[in-house]
Structure formats: structure tokens, C-alpha cells
Structure 1
Amino acid sequence: MKWAGTLTILVLLLAACEREDRQFRSDPVATETEEKITMSAISPGSSGPVEIHTGKGKEYEDNAYHISQGQKFYVWFNCNGCHFNGGGGSGPALMDDRWIYGGNIENIVQTIREGRPNGMPSFRGKIPDDQIWEIAAYVRSMGRYTPKAAAPGRMDDMHSGPAEQRRSPASMNEGGIVPPSAEMPQ
């Protein structure tokens, strides 16, 4: 009798378990989000620029699986060829608090998708949209803008600082503003 009750409870518990639903196959390259973001506070008229966010960024930034996938794609698509391990090289550093085109995930997605003058190529039509979002989430994790529970583990041995999930959270510096760390010494 005890075994029947225990077995019934075990079956009910297993039936109640719900795993995270993951999509293992990417959407086709042609399916992109329609984020409308601004790169500058300058706009015609008295009102500021209008931005439209789909909210898709939050889905990727707080999810450890998406960030770890982004870490893998960062290496696969040779982002470290220009940005090295986030410390900069021929491309800008991704670990500091200076963002030329804005440090929000939507701005980073737009930079990857459309490219930027003087070096950043456009990956529109070459990388599926969800993989671009995952790379952008990983780039944000390099700068400590994601929760510690979602931050990926270190995979490079060359960085002298502590791993990303062991650093204190950073404050966001929007694009166009030069942080004190980047100002010329007096």
C-alpha cells in the first residue's frame, strides 16, 4: 500500500515537472526583429527621437543559455579576430564603459546587423537573427551588464582580471558620452 502511494506521488511529481522550452533550430535569416533605435539624442523639432523596442532583448540578456550560445558564436563568427577576447584590438574594446553607438542590447544588435563605418562589417543575411541577439547578449555580459547568475564562465586564459560573474555590476554609459576613464589627462 505504501509503495502504491509513493509511486503515485512520484508519477505526479514527474508529470508536474516542466523543462525550459528551447528552440534548437534557428529561424531563417530573413526573419528579423524591427527594433527602431536612435544613435544620438539629436532630432528635428522640440521632442526627442522616438524609439520602439520589442522587448526581445530582456529575453536574451537574463538567460544563461542564450549568453553561453552567444559566447560560442562570438568565437565561431571570429568576432575575436578584431575585438580579441573583448579587450579590443583593431576593433573597439567591449569590456569597458565606452560605447560609441550605445551600449543597450538593441544598439549592439543593430551594430552587428548593419555594421558601422570604418571597419565593422554588416552581418545582415549572414547570421540568423536569434544568433545575433545571443552574440549581443554575450557582448553585454563582457561589460558586466547581465545578472551574475546568467553570466558565462571564462573561456580565455589571457585575461588578468576576475571572471565576469565574479565582478561587480557596472553602470551603463550611453553612447556619445565620454566617461571619465577615457578623458585626456590634464
Structure 2
Amino acid sequence: MKLLPFIICLGFSLAACEREKRDFRTAPVSEESQEKTALVSLSPGSSPPEQEVSGKARSFEGNAYHLSQGKRLYAWFNCNGCHANGGGDSGPPLMDDRWIYGSSLENIVQTIREGRPNGMPSFRGKLPDDQIWELAVYVRSMSGLEPKAAAPSRNDDMHPLPSENRMPPSSPVPGGSASPSATAPQ
């Protein structure tokens, strides 16, 4: 009889456990989002051009994990080869406020996915859809269009000085004034 309450307690504790739900990466092409974006605001008639977006951008914008993954992918796929750390070289700069094909996340995804004339290759079918979105959100963060709290910082090799933990120790800098609490009688 003492075994029955133990079994009941064990059953309740197992029923209370809930397994963590994770989103795994999708197949490269089968789950590709469909974005129909306009590159310009011109259209015939008085209404703006029709656009259809999947809403997938909401889960990537401002997400620190996706931004850091995009930064990693940017280095892995050698985007520096054409965009030179975002400053532009044979490819256009990514740090300024002028975007040839639009600065919305959907437009950047389309540029990476479809490619552009005169140099930008198409990555359709070569990268999973989530990786394209991560690259796009990082590219967008280079020009300051993502929240500073989520955006990854520059690499140590892009700073003019060595990283802080590699600097030689220095003595305190003299100067300044003592705080009012330090000069008050004790």
C-alpha cells in the first residue's frame, strides 16, 4: 500500500514536466518565405504599389541571437570580400543611409536570395531561409537600423586599439576632484 502513493506522486510529477519546444532549421527551399516587395514607391494610378510580406521579419528584427548568427554567417560566407566590413568595395557600402534596392528587411532578403545585376550572386537554394534572414538582419544593423541593445559590436580587429583585455596595465590617471561625500567630516 505504501507503493501506491509513491506511484501516484511519480505519475503527477511526470505529467507536470513539459518538454521544451524548439524550432529547428527548415529545409533550404521547401519552407522558403514568399515576399513581394516594391523597390520604389512609384506605381500607376493613385495607390502605392502592392506588397505582400510574410511577417517573418518580426521574429528576426531586434533579436540579438539572430543578429549574432548573421554576423557569424557574414564572416563565414566572405561577404567582406565585396562589401569590405560594410564600407563598400566592389560591392556597395552597407553602413550608409542609401540603399539601392530598399532598406526594409524584406528587400534585403530578396537581394540576398535573388541576387542583383552586376555582381551580387543569388543564394537561392544554397542557404536555408533562416540563414538568409539572419544575414539580412545583420546587414541592416550595420547602418544602425536595428536597436543598439541587440546589435552585435564590432570585431576587435576593427578597433584602432587592441581589445581591452590585451592592453598593458596602466596606472590611474591623476586629476579630477574629490566627491562631496569624500570631503565631508566623518
Q: Same fold (TM over 0.5)?
A: yes
Give the deviation of 1:50 after TM superposition: 0.7
Runs of 5+ consecutive residues of structure 1 not aligned to the other structure: 1-14, 161-186
Residue of structure 1 in register with 2:142 after alignment: 142
Q: What is the rounded CA distance, in whole Å, between the counterparts of 2:59 and 2:99 in structure 1? A: 22
Q: Which contiguous aligned blocks of 4+ residues in structure 1 show a shift greater than 6 angstroms?
A: none
Q: Which amino acid is the alignment partner of residue 45 of structure 1?
A: G
Q: Which amino acid is the alignment partner of residue 98 of structure 1?
A: R
Q: Could you tell me the percent identity over the aligned residues?
A: 64
Give the deviation of 1:156 after TM superposition: 5.0
Residue of structure 2 in register with 1:184 after alignment: none
Alignment of 1:121-136 (within 5 A): 121-136=121-136
Structure with larger Rg:
2
Runs of 5+ consecutive residues of structure 2 not aligned to the other structure: 1-15, 161-186
**Aligned residue pairs, count:** 144
Give the deviation of 1:40 after TM superposition: 1.3
Give the deviation of 1:159 after TM superposition: 5.4
Q: Is the 8 A contact 1:70 1:135 kept in 2?
A: yes
Q: What is the rounded CA distance, in whole Å, between the counterparts of 1:159 and 1:108 in structure 2? A: 27
Q: Is the 8 A contact 1:85 1:156 kept in 2?
A: no
Give the deviation of 1:52 after TM superposition: 1.6
Q: Is the 8 A contact 1:34 1:54 kept in 2?
A: yes
Q: What is the rounded CA distance, in whole Å, between the counterparts of 2:88 and 2:159 in structure 1? A: 12
Q: Is the 8 A contact 1:140 1:146 kept in 2?
A: yes
Q: What is the rounded CA distance, in whole Å, between the counterparts of 1:36 and 1:54 in structure 2? A: 9
Q: Which amino acid is the alignment partner of residue 43 of structure 1?
A: S
Deviation sequence 1:67-126 (CA, Å, 0-9, x none): 000001111111111001111110000000010000011000000000111111111011
Residue of structure 1 in register with 2:111 after alignment: 111
Query: Secondary structure at the residue paired with 1:58?
Result: helix
